[in-house]
Amino acid sequence: MPGDPNGEMLATCWRLALLRPFRYVRGVLRFRSHVLVGVALVALPMGAAGCQHKSKTPEEAFQRFAAAVTAGDGAALFDALDQQTRWDLMTIQKWHREAYDIVLSNYPEGPVRDREKERFERAATAPSARELFRTDAAPGLLPTLAPLAAGIPRVEAGAAAGQATAVLESGGRVPLARGDNGGWGFAGLAKRAEDDKNRAYHDLEVVRASAADYERAAARAAK
C-alpha cells in the first residue's frame, strides 16, 4: 500500500533477504534427471509437513506469526504465511527446478549453460520451498519483522472479505489474509511473492525459447 511504512519496510526486507532471487521455469523435455525426480519425491512429505495446521482466525494467525518471529524459526514463519503466498513460493521453486532441468537437458556446454545452471541450481536442489525460504529468505526477514511480533494487537477487519490487520500499540500493522482453505496467515510478503512469481514465469519463457533455439541450431548442424 503506497505510503504504508510497514509495507515499505517489508518490501525492503524481502529484497535484502532474497540475495539469490527466486526464479522458475516450466518446460517440455525429452527426459528428466533422476536427481531432480528424487528431490521432488523427497519434497512431497516435507512440504506436506508444513501445511498440516491452519489458523482458523486472524488472532490465531497473528499468534502463529509472532511465535515464529520471536523464536527466529524460518520454517515456522513459512507455515505462518497466508496460503496464496505459500503457493506462490512453491510455484517459484517448481519453475526453478524445471528451468534447471531444461538447462541441463537442452543447453550446449559452455559459459551460458554454466551461468544458467548456477542461477537455478540452489532452488532446484532444495528439498522444498519451505526449506528454501528457511535458508535463503528467513535469516534476513526475521530480525526486521521482530517489531511486528511484540505485544497484543487489536484485529481490524479489512476492506474486503478475507482480509484483516493486527494493529499493535506501537502503531505497527500486520496484514493477514484468509486462503481458499479457510486458514488465515501473514500476508505481508504477498505482493513481493506475486511479483517474483511473475518474473519467474518470464524467466520460464526465456529459457524455453533459448532451448528451442539451441535445438534448431543443433538440427541444422546435423544436416
Alpha-carbon torsion angle 129, 130, 132, 135, nearest 10:
170
Instruction: Say if pTM beats, i.e. exceeds, 0.85.
Output: no
Q: Which of residues 16 and 92 earns the better pLDDT score?
A: 92
User: Which grid coordinates belong to 12?
Assistant: 525492503
Enclosing H/E stretch for 167: strand 163-167
Cβ atoms 90, 47 nearer than 8 A: yes
142-163: average pLDDT: 93
Residue 164 amino acid letter:
A
* 115 contacts 128 by C-beta, under 8 angstroms: no
Cα 70 to chain center, whole Å?
A: 21
Tens digits of residue pLDDT in 170-218 = 999 999 999 999 999 999 999 999 999 999 999 988 999 999 999 898 8
Domain ranges, ordered by start, for the chain: 7-12+34-222
Residues in the chain: 223
What pairs with residue 157 in β-bridges? 164
Q: Which residue has the cell 520460464?
A: 204
Q: Is the pLDDT of residue 5 over 70?
A: no
Q: What is the pLDDT of residues 9-26, one digit of tens each?
A: 454 445 444 434 433 333
Cell of 29: 523435455
22 and 196 in contact (C-beta within 8 Å)?
yes
pLDDT digits (tens, 9 = 90+) for 197-210: 999 999 988 999 99
